[in-house]
């Protein structure tokens, strides 16, 4: 299984494409996803760090209808709050309204841009050999398909009604939701938490 995951990861990196959209188009798509008005400013932060505070950091999880991904973030936040990291870097409080948040973790995929690829890998096949009346193993190719979609993910700091982008990435991801889906965004957020000023 690890070999399959590695092979798919390599194929994803090799087939990585830049998603043709302007900054303005990306900001507009993010505004729509967050459900905020066009007048809401979203721009890169001039100082992409978090400030130290004694209060819990209020976090809004914006994952749309990707419920497994939302559950992943809830699980990771719960684990953070139970760990020594919460004592050292501050605890996190999940809020349901974006207007209550200090930080918004936003992640969406462009499912309309799904891409299906076919790949193969070497494996061993077992066959019956009538000449020797034995079951033998021989090299074979195993072919499989997988689907990927563009993903965009952000750590946003709320500033009144506007937002500053503290972290952003886009890549290709597997179509579907899994136990580790969203982990790169979580890792980026943890780095920001551990580098508070």
In tens digits, the chain (197 residues) has pLDDT values of 444 344 334 333 433 344 557 899 999 999 999 999 999 999 999 999 988 888 999 999 999 888 999 999 999 999 999 999 999 999 999 999 999 999 999 999 988 888 888 888 888 878 788 888 888 887 878 888 888 889 999 999 999 889 999 999 999 888 778 888 899 999 999 999 999 87
Number of Cβ within a 10 Å radius of residue 82: 10
CA distance 64 to 74: 14
The pLDDT of residue 86: 93
The pLDDT of residue 107: 96
The pLDDT of residue 20: 53
CA distances from 49 to 46, 96, 165, 192 (A): 9, 23, 10, 6
SS percent in the chain: helix, strand, coil, step 5: 35, 35, 30
Q: Cα 52 vs. chain centroid, distance in angstroms?
A: 25
The pLDDT of residue 178: 82
């Amino acid at each position: 299984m690890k070999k399959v995951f590695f092979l798919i990861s390599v194929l994803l990196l090799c087939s990585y494409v830049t998603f043709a959209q302007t900054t303005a188009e990306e900001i507009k798509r993010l505004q729509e996803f967050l459900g905020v008005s066009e007048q809401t400013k979203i721009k890169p932060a001039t100082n992409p760090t978090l400030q130290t505070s004694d209060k819990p950091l209020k976090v809004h999880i914006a994952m749309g209808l990707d419920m497994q991904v939302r559950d992943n973030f809830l699980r990771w936040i719960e684990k953070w709050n139970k760990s020594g990291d919460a004592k050292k870097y501050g605890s996190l409080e999940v809020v349901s309204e974006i207007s209550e948040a200090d930080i918004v973790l936003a992640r969406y995929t462009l499912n309309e841009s799904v891409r299906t690829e076919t790949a193969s890998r070497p494996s061993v096949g077992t066959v019956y050999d009538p000449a020797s009346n034995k079951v033998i193993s021989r090299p074979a190719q195993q072919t499989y398909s997988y689907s990927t979609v563009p993903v965009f993910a952000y750590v946003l700091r709320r500033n009144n009604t506007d937002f500053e982008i503290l972290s952003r990435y886009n890549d290709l991801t597997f179509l579907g939701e899994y136990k580790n889906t969203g982990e790169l965004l979580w890792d980026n957020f943890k780095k920001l938490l551990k580098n508070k000023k």
